[in-house]
């Protein structure tokens, strides 16, 4: 069974697979079942683990997935 944070990570990552890069506030609008705080916590966690990139663009923050090297 997935934890709440894992479920939130899955929602955000699924969104980033379809639309990227995306502004942080757009993720909040596009995933209404999560609060701003939940999305911020999730984006912060994913960014610290090197799974996504979080960059400041003027007054906004841009989020995009970081390609992961897959070794077969």
Q: State residue 26 phi and psi, 5-degree precision.
A: -70, -35
Domain 4-65 fold: Arc Repressor Mutant, subunit A (1.10.10)
Residues 49 and 60: their CA atoms lie apart, in Å, by 21
Average pLDDT over residues 25-42: 95
Instruction: Give Cα 52 distance to the centre of its chain.
Output: 7
Residues 67 and 37: their CA atoms lie apart, in Å, by 26
Residue ranges of domains in the chain: 4-65
Could you report the per-residue pLDDT of 5-32, keeping only the tens digit for each? 899 999 999 999 888 789 999 999 999 9
Q: Return the SS3 of 56.
A: strand
- What is the reported pTM? 0.84
Tokens of 45: 């966690």
């Amino acid at each position: 069974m997935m934890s709440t944070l894992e479920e939130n990570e899955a929602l955000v990552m699924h969104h980033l697979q379809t639309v990227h890069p995306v502004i942080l506030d757009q993720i909040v609008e596009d995933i209404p079942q999560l609060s701003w705080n939940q999305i911020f916590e999730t984006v912060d966690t994913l960014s610290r683990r090197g799974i996504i990139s979080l960059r400041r663009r003027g007054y906004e923050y841009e989020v995009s997935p970081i390609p992961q090297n897959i070794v077969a």
